Amino acid sequence: YATNYRQVLKRHLLTHKMTKQFKCDNCEYLTNNKHLLKQHFLTHKATKDFECGQCDFATNNKYIFKAHLSTHTVTECLKCDVCDFSTRNKYYLNEHLLAHKLAAQFKCASCDYTTKMKRHLIQHLVVHKVKDLKCANCEYTTSTMSCLKRHLWKHKVVKDFKCDHCTYATVNKYSLKRHLSTHNVLKDFVCDHCEYTTKSAPYFKRHLLIHKFA
């Protein structure tokens, strides 16, 4: 055997390797591959994880089991009692029924809510929690501190963002922008010296400075 590639030669030399590194403790099986040894160990396992419901076949390999099931021809159609799912394979029906079972694993004791995730149930339970956190300035109540803190911003004494066109003031920059859109919705600020137009009074004033110092 000859080749121009070092990697190909290395792969070929493995075929001449005499020492088998991995040996089965239960029989004479030898292999150079640790993964193959693990698969072989399953053949000695006393309890089989996958048992055929239609014959005596049993195995520890999920894929071999699925291949075996396809050898059985079932004339009767097996149907799910929960939904419209149907199959001629009992194994697939059992797998499908398990999905329904897991889907309703976590249930709310106060309503019909169900979920597969425990953290989703914990988040849901908040809606049933007594609203024991109250605002000192109004009748607002909530069950979470983060919501209360967000609400308290509405009662902030110093409102930093003020409208130039009316008495509106707010603690939120984006609320001011939203409010400003109510002024001059259809009216543009038009420059007498050029073609510049804008709906924003501050931008228009800033633009006029260009002509003032030009």
Stated length of the chain: 214
- Is a pLDDT exceeding 70 seen at residue 27? yes
CB 23 within 8 A of CB 41: no
CB 171 within 8 A of CB 159: yes
High-pLDDT (> 90) share of the chain, %: 0
Over residues 35-70, the pLDDT tens digits come to 888 878 777 776 777 888 778 888 877 777 877 877
- Is a pLDDT exceeding 60 seen at residue 197? yes
Q: For helices 62-69 and 90-103, give the axis angle rounded to 10 degrees.
A: 120
Q: What pLDDT score does 90 carry? A: 74
Token reading at 48: 């089989």
Q: What pLDDT score does 79 carry? A: 86
- What phi and psi, each to the nearest 5 degrees, are found at residue 50? -120, 115
Q: What pLDDT score does 157 carry? A: 63
The span from the CA of 122 to the CA of 108, in Å, is 9
**DSSP helix/strand/coil, 144:** coil
**Rounded to whole angstroms, what are the CA distances from 187 to 180, 183, 200?**
12, 8, 10
Mean pLDDT over the full length of the chain = 77
Q: What pLDDT score does 130 carry? A: 64
Single pTM value for the model: 0.25
Q: Which residues of 7-31 are buried (b: 16+ CB within 10 A; e: fewer)?
A: eeeeeeeeeeeeeeeeeeeeeebeb
Token reading at 178: 């939203």
Angle, CA of 163, 169 and 174, to the nearest 5°: 80
- Is a pLDDT exceeding 60 seen at residue 95? yes
The span from the CA of 128 to the CA of 87, in Å, is 41
Over residues 145-175, the pLDDT tens digits come to 788 888 887 777 667 788 888 888 887 788 8
Eight-class DSSP state of 29: -
Q: What pLDDT score does 131 carry? A: 67
- Is a pLDDT exceeding 60 seen at residue 185? no
- Is a pLDDT exceeding 60 seen at residue 18? no
- Which residues lie below 8 Å from residue 116, measured CB to CB, with a gap of 6+? 102, 103, 105, 106
| Rounded mean pLDDT, 82-91 | 79
DSSP 128-186: GS---EE-SSSS-EES-HHHHHHHHGGG-S---EE-SSSS-EES-HHHHHHHHTTSSSS
